[in-house]
């Protein structure tokens, strides 16, 4: 299925290609943790990455 590391890289690359700044790290906001944020001119957008059924698989199909 999806490798979470690749998914984070591809998401960050998408926004960076559009000229935006991306911080892919766990950010704690109150009692919520987000996977990263995109920074634009005068705005911020939170990123939360989801995989099917909340699981991430490695290439050998073992659950990470």
More confident residue, 49 or 18: 18
Domain extent listing, the chain: 4-52
pTM of the model: 0.68
What does the buried/exposed string (b/e) look like for 29-60 if buried means 16 or more CB atoms within 10 Å of the residue's CB? Answer: eeeeeebbbbeeeeeeeebeeeeeeeebeeee
Residue with tokens 């059924």: 53
Q: How far apart are CA 64 and CA 49, in angstroms?
A: 15
Q: What pLDDT, in 10s, does the model give residues 8-45? A: 899 999 999 999 999 988 888 788 888 889 999 999 99
């Amino acid at each position: 299925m999806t490798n979470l590391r690749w998914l984070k890289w591809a998401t960050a690359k998408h926004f960076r290609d559009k000229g935006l700044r991306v911080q892919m790290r766990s950010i704690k906001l109150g009692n919520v943790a987000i996977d990263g944020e995109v920074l634009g001119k005068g705005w911020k957008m939170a990123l939360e990455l989801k995989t099917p059924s909340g699981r991430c698989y490695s290439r050998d199909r073992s659950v990470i």
